[in-house]
Structure 1
Amino acid sequence: MTFKTHKLACLLVVSPLFLAGCNLAPDYQKPDAAIPTALPKGEAYDKAYQQGANGKSAAQVPWQHFVQDTRLQKVIALALANNRDLAQTVADVAAARATYKGEYADQFPEIDAGVSGTREKSSDGQISSSYEATLGLSSYEIDLFGKARNMTKMELETYLSSAETARAAKITLIGETATAWLTLAADKSLLKLAQDTAASAQKTMAISKKRLELGVDSRVDLSSAETTYQSARADVASYQTQVAQDINALNLLVGQSLDAALLPGNLPTDGGWLAQVPAGISSKVLLERPDVLAAEHTLKAANADIGVARAAYFPTLSLTASGGLASSALSDLFSGGASHIWSVAPSATLPIFDWGANSAEVAYTKAERDKDIAAYQYTLQTAFQETADALARRGTIEEQLSAQRALVSAAQKSYDLYFKRYKAGIDSFEDALTYQRTLYSAQQTLISTRLTELSNRVTLYRVLGGGLAGTKDEKPVSQ
């Protein structure tokens, strides 16, 4: 075989790889955000923007800095390491990345090497042998119109979407774990309050019984005292159940039974377990939320899918080619005595009549792209609504806490006053009982409000994209 023949064969194999310059996917245009450029302002929101420090956004604050209680930090770390639901999501990311890498590899020809030999006897009794060593490719589809590249792009964006979904799942798990831990602390506080109230009511009931024996009180007073005692006693049993269920919920989130040393005590009065969350005015921070980024990657995948569907209108060109050595003796195959062999077999297919199948597929991919545009915008609108709600709660919760503390203080003073008047025989026990019930209810509401305040910090941190700053998997890797 001459040098020119070898050159021609190489060109036939290699040159089609450089012909793939046409891309039929539409140019990607980022959709309108469909949300205001600024987060809400007004009486309910203004105080929310006055908190936080250092001018950082929530997304720039690592969760280890936001969570300031070392026990809760350890619990969240255990949840991120062991939560089985999160493990499923992470496995989905690994599967999506493997699919993308497989699709990426399909863009290039697969080169195979082979050695074969035959030995046969003809009808005249002659025995012949032949041996071949070849290197070649089989049925490689040349990407003239960007089909393979768009399929690879689609799988890449699908992988990136799943990676962002996993990041969102981690942020959600951090928030759920913190909230469950705080709820346990609140229920422990409510349990202790119920136990203290039951103990106080039992003492009051004993006083009423003695006064009844002395003829000072009536059975109505004793029955009223017993009502408060039994009510608190029922609350004790209810909160004991709730505390046990809270621990079970935490164990599920963490993926193992927690050591008692990692469980909280009663809720703090100062909210010191969590840092204040910085909140800026611009809504652009929402564009970097993992769930929003996941929706955009899904949209980009749908955009690439249109290019795949459009490529079906055009011819496909496949190539099978091989080259190598052949000899009648195996010993001569690699020792210079063999002959050079080669083959090139291109094939082309052009769609003519498909009865509208290609048009239907293109229309379908465009409709899917339009649906993903709406999904992206709805995800942003949902993020805006979640953030606005959290900011409204943050802007008013301190006033509510202040009022509730004042109500507890006033109810405590009223109960102490009327109980002293009851013991002095000035008033009936009904008056003292009314204020005792008011005090108990106000104390329960104060605990619930303190939980609301702390939970709101967690929610605001989450909806503003906080949770993963400074971690190794802060952003998914595209290659």
Structure 2
Amino acid sequence: MNKMTSVTALYAALALLLAGCSLAPRYERPAVPLAAGYPRGAQPVNAPQAAVAELGWKQVFPDARLQRLIQIALDNNQDLQLAALNVRRAQVQFRIERAAQWPTLNAALRQSKERPEVSGDIAAYGVGITAYELDLFGRIQSLKEAALASYLGTQASRKTVQIGLVAAVASGYLTLLADDSLYDVAWQTVQSRSASLSLIQLRHANGIGTETDLRQAEGLLENARASLAQYERQRAQDLNALVLLLGVPSWPADLAQGDGALPALDGFLADLPAGLPSALLTHRPDIEAAEHRLMAANADIGAARAAFFPRVELTGSFGRASTGLSNLFNEATRAWSFTPQITVPIFDFGANQANLDAAKVDREIATAQYRKTIQVAFSEVADALAGSATWKEQLRATQAQAQSARAAFALLDLRYRNGGVDYLAVMDAQRTLFEAEQALVQVRMAALHNRITLYKVLGGGWSAETVRLAAHDRYGAAQGRTSAGSGLSTSSFSAAASPTRQ
């Protein structure tokens, strides 16, 4: 008994001595060439050095009806629900890998009888440790680190899904309002051209107007009616797309589908601070997810390296055993067993080396993906900022153009009614006015869409309070505190999973 106790103590001491040993490379964030500022023409003037990620989406989108739509989507959208389930799945996988660091205790009670009878019934009960691996070279630790990094990466990916969903709902709602506005423009044009056609028919009946004027007026009217049908179809498709994003069977009965006009640029969306390019590294969840994938690949190298070294597994039990149930609980029936096993890799036809080479290649792939994600993020922000600097001026010019077209048409129509010009001039003025009013709606919509894009590419406003199943994140954060010494920051784990203010 003393000998076995000494052996057990020896293995325990060896486990404690080498448990912290890890063959994973020390993680270092890859150097990424990033400019100190955005390109000329993309840097906003006097922009505060805050980040959009610090703003809740309700602060960015103050419109009450849009806020209601976004909240419905956050509660019901299936893509977001799938992303949340993926987070829970990754969290469970991390708990599985973490549990492998501790012995598994099992209780057993058995009774057996032999034929021919030699010793009679044999009864036993006790607890045992089943194949507990001493993590001498950090294999299990590396697998746990990889699972933790994968969980954090999945959590960041869910943030990306939410930001994209909020932006998609806002864009879809704006598209619906824009098609409402275009429908109104087409309807007003149909009414105006119908009135013009009635006048020309009257003039033609009285021998004043020409057949050419009559047919041209009919063509213009049918052109406006075709546009009216087009915008009616687009509006129905916009509603269908929004309902799909909301994740509900139909449009909410207590919400109007549109008001026929696009909102002003400054009143519909809040001004968005851009900050510095370096802020993207901490505020874009897709960059965060890419870095966690890189961390997981780095940890996988440690597990692949550990496969070259011996593995020590311990199996043992302690309890009581007797030839009969009557004396099973006597003092003399105590029994125990202890079975250490060492597995040493000798020859595997290069499988371990191939696994290590594959892990290293995976890390290089993850590094390249991380750098590309940052470069794409920088380009997207630069494009959106460049749009912010020019869309306002284009909108102002388009508004002035539409106003001039209205005035020109009013003057030419008056002169035509008084016989001062022929109908060809009026027809050109009508066509120019229709195109100008359509262009004004489209430019206003594009300017609003650019503001939404800027919100999205800067990292959006993340708040776990707006996502269902957020309680599971808080549970995961509590579990993450046990990962001290894993090579990954537990503070970053908690920060990624804990809710922030709305």
TM-score of the two chains, using structure 1 as the length reference? 0.93
- Other-structure match for 1:192: 184
Out of 175, 182, 205, the position equivalent to 1:213 is 205
Question: How is 1:304-343 mapped onto 2 (pairs within 5 angstroms)?
Answer: 304-334=299-329, 336-343=330-337
Distance 1:211 1:204 in 2: 11
Paired residue type of 2:42: Y
Shift of 1:363: 1.1
Tell me, yes or no, if structure 1 residue 178 matches structure 2 residue 170. Answer: yes
Q: Check the 8 A contact 2:71/2:466 in 1, yes or no.
A: no
Shift of 1:133: 2.2
1:223-251 CA distances to partner (integer Å, 9 max, x unpaired)? Answer: 22112111000001110000000000000
Secondary structure of the 1:326 match is strand
Q: 1:269–1:318: structure 2 CA closer, same or farther, 3 Å change rule? A: closer
Q: Check the 8 A contact 1:283/1:384 in 2, yes or no.
A: no
Shift of 1:274: 1.8
Identity of aligned residues (%): 37
- Other-structure match for 2:488: none
Paired residue type of 1:456: N
Deviates more, 1:251-260 or 1:272-281: 272-281
Distance 1:50 1:190 in 2: 35
- Other-structure match for 2:84: 90
Q: Check the 8 A contact 2:119/2:323 in 1, yes or no.
A: no
Shift of 1:16: 4.9
Paired residue type of 1:45: A
Shift of 1:141: 1.6
Out of 241, 259, 270, the position equivalent to 2:252 is 259
Q: 1:264–1:286: structure 2 CA closer, same or farther, 3 Å change rule? A: farther
Shift of 1:370: 0.3
- Other-structure match for 2:23: 24
Secondary structure of the 1:322 match is strand
Deviates more, 1:319-328 or 1:423-432: 319-328
- Count of matched residue pairs: 469
- Other-structure match for 2:128: 136
Distance 1:49 1:361 in 2: 52
- Other-structure match for 2:57: 63
Tell me, yes or no, if structure 1 residue 394 matches structure 2 residue 388. Answer: yes
Question: How is 1:390-429 mapped onto 2 (pairs within 5 angstroms)?
Answer: 390-429=384-423
Paired residue type of 1:263: Q
Distance 2:55 2:342 in 1: 57
Question: How is 1:275-286 mapped onto 2 (pairs within 5 angstroms)?
Answer: 275-286=270-281
Shift of 1:267: 3.0
Distance 1:220 1:346 in 2: 103
Deviates more, 1:218-227 or 1:466-475: 466-475
Distance 2:50 2:132 in 1: 53
Tell me, yes or no, if structure 1 residue 381 matches structure 2 residue 375. Answer: yes
Shift of 1:470: 6.7
Shift of 1:331: 4.1
Out of 251, 269, 274, the position equivalent to 1:274 is 269
Tell me, yes or no, if structure 1 residue 45 matches structure 2 residue 42. Answer: yes
Distance 1:85 1:155 in 2: 23
Q: 1:243–1:105: structure 2 CA closer, same or farther, 3 Å change rule? A: same
Paired residue type of 2:438: Q
Segments of 5+ residues of structure 2 without an aligned counterpart are 481-502
Secondary structure of the 2:353 match is helix
Out of 183, 196, 202, the position equivalent to 1:204 is 196
- Other-structure match for 1:303: 298
Distance 2:261 2:446 in 1: 11
Shift of 1:13: 6.6
Out of 111, 127, 130, the position equivalent to 1:117 is 111
Deviates more, 1:404-413 or 1:91-100: 91-100
Q: 1:286–1:186: structure 2 CA closer, same or farther, 3 Å change rule? A: farther
Secondary structure of the 1:137 match is strand
1:85-132 CA distances to partner (integer Å, 9 max, x unpaired)? Answer: 221222111111111111111121111121223344656xx7633332
Shift of 1:36: 1.6
Shift of 1:395: 0.6
Secondary structure of the 2:108 match is strand
1:388-429 CA distances to partner (integer Å, 9 max, x unpaired)? Answer: 110010010110011001101111111111111111101001
Distance 1:294 1:356 in 2: 33
Q: Check the 8 A contact 2:74/2:466 in 1, yes or no.
A: no
Q: Check the 8 A contact 2:76/2:247 in 1, yes or no.
A: yes
Distance 1:281 1:339 in 2: 74
TM-score of the two chains, using structure 2 as the length reference? 0.89
- Other-structure match for 1:293: 288
Paired residue type of 1:448: Q
Secondary structure of the 1:338 match is helix
Q: Check the 8 A contact 1:179/1:455 in 2, yes or no.
A: yes
1:363-405 CA distances to partner (integer Å, 9 max, x unpaired)? Answer: 1110110010000000111111111110010010110011001
- Other-structure match for 1:439: 433
Paired residue type of 1:349: T
Q: Check the 8 A contact 1:39/1:283 in 2, yes or no.
A: no
Secondary structure of the 1:471 match is helix
- Other-structure match for 1:154: 146
Out of 160, 165, 168, the position equivalent to 1:168 is 160
Secondary structure of the 1:446 match is helix
Distance 1:6 1:316 in 2: 20
Distance 1:131 1:8 in 2: 29
Shift of 1:14: 4.0
Distance 1:470 1:370 in 2: 32
Q: Check the 8 A contact 1:45/1:396 in 2, yes or no.
A: no
Q: Check the 8 A contact 2:120/2:324 in 1, yes or no.
A: no
Distance 1:80 1:165 in 2: 15
Distance 1:288 1:62 in 2: 13
